[in-house]
Amino acid sequence: MSGGLINRTFAVEDPAGAFVLQRINPIFDPVMHHNIEAVTRRLRDRGLVTPTLLPTRAGALWFELPGGGDWRLMTRVPGRSFDVIESPDQARSAGALVARFHSALHGLEHSFRGLRVGVHDTAKHLEVLARALARHREHPLRAEVEALAQDIRGALATLPEHAGLPTRIAHGDLKFSNVLFAGERGPARVQAICLVDLDTLAPMPLHHELGDAWRSWCNVGGEDGRARFDLEIFAASLEGYVDALAVPLRDEERAALLHGVEWICLELAARFAADALNESYFGWDRQRYARAGDHNLARARGQRELAREVVATRRERAALLGVDADA
């Protein structure tokens, strides 16, 4: 199966059903499978469609092959995913699905394990970027990355931090390809049915979760294309989310949602900029770029440009959210 950059994924067809076999990237602690088990059980109990972990004969949620990494087997939900959103109808349905997901998990008592610390710790990502600049003084891309880093830091300094907000149990990686739709054609193409790739489940503030979703969903140019933030997609997804949410948004959450997508774009720009010097990333396009650093610098610039596009819509987004654009 293609599309993912993190885990190695295989489709398995068997008389007993359709399954997904995955080798888990070592960036994840395999104990996070206990999070997947708890969350998917809750989702099933609340009537939501979800993939299910299949334990080994010994009852383990994953298995380790000597020298071959950690593996898991899950049921495969039939459907179709898309890399780029196609219409406001898709956005509205995806927003409603995420709201049902959040609502179903509200009040779930579970001690999350194996969490990746600092995923949205912007200060930490800026420190990583600063260390990369200090370490790679002779790198051919250093001057360009340094100029971009100064621009990113300046833009972040203009945004409120929204610290201390409540958390919700979140998917943690709502890129649009992690939303599964019912099918390829007709009404099924705009019917979001479940979320996949659940390794990143964690409690987090809502503006981190939805900010990352909107960064992916509303950038109709795609990560490697020309950045363009589609306000109509934003409005439709927000409408779908709010209408389907069983646990109303708090005022402080609404205020943070205004800036969340701006923060996430800039944070990701900083991460890509550091990767450009460290020459590290899960994958890069060898047909278009001579090395990983060139691709990562292009990604960083793309996210910085997307942040500008997002800021240009701040007043319109504030009106849709019902908050003060200048607060």
| Cα dist from 208 to 162, 173, 191, whole Å | 11, 10, 24
DSSP β-ladder status, 179-181 and 192-195: antiparallel
Asked if pLDDT for residue 4 goes beyond 50, the answer is no
For 119-227, strand residue ranges (E) read 167-170, 179-181, 192-195, 202-205
Let me know: does 225 contact 217? Beta carbons within 8 Å.
no
Please give the share of the chain, as a percent, with pLDDT higher than 90. 83
d(CA 191, CA 28) in angstroms, rounded, equals 31
d(CA 156, CA 310) in angstroms, rounded, equals 13
Asked if pLDDT for residue 2 goes beyond 70, the answer is no
Question: Which pLDDT belongs to residue 5?
Answer: 46
For residue 17, what are the β-bridge partners?
Answer: 14
d(CA 38, CA 260) in angstroms, rounded, equals 28
Between residues 43 and 288, the one the model is more confident about: 43
Please give the share of the chain, as a percent, with pLDDT higher than 70. 94
Instruction: Identify the CA nearest to 4 among candidates 251, 246, 288, 197.
Output: 197
Average pLDDT (60-77) is 94
Question: Which pLDDT belongs to residue 161?
Answer: 86
Question: pLDDT, tens digit, for every residue of 151-200?
Answer: 999 999 999 989 889 999 999 999 999 999 999 999 999 999 999 999 99
Q: Which two tokens stand for residue 248?
A: 């109303």
d(CA 272, CA 266) in angstroms, rounded, equals 10
Asked if pLDDT for residue 6 goes beyond 60, the answer is no
- Count of other CB atoms within 10 angstroms of residue 219: 27
Q: How many H helices and E strands in the chain?
A: 9, 8
Question: pLDDT, tens digit, for every residue of 72-115?
Answer: 999 999 999 999 999 999 999 999 999 999 999 999 999 999 99
- Which residues fall within 8 angstroms of residue 149, CB to CB, at 6 or more apart? 129, 130, 133, 270, 273
Asked if pLDDT for residue 207 goes beyond 60, the answer is yes
This model's pTM is above 0.85? yes
Q: Set out the domains of the chain in order of their start, with CATH numbers.
A: 79-118+155-321 (3.90.1200.10)
Between residues 89 and 286, the one the model is more confident about: 89
Question: pLDDT, tens digit, for every residue of 120-142?
Answer: 999 999 999 999 999 999 999 99
Between residues 223 and 260, the one the model is more confident about: 260
Length of the chain counted residue by residue: 327
* Phi, psi (deg, nearest 5) at residue 10: -130, 135
Asked if pLDDT for residue 65 goes beyond 60, the answer is yes
State the average pLDDT for the chain.
93
Question: Which pLDDT belongs to residue 284?
Answer: 64
* Side chain identity, residue 59: G
DSSP β-ladder status, 167-170 and 192-195: unpaired
- Count of other CB atoms within 10 angstroms of residue 21: 16
Question: Which pLDDT belongs to residue 280?
Answer: 72
Question: Which pLDDT belongs to residue 118?
Answer: 85
CA distance from start to end of the chain: 45
d(CA 228, CA 68) in angstroms, rounded, equals 41
Let me know: does 62 contact 30? Beta carbons within 8 Å.
yes
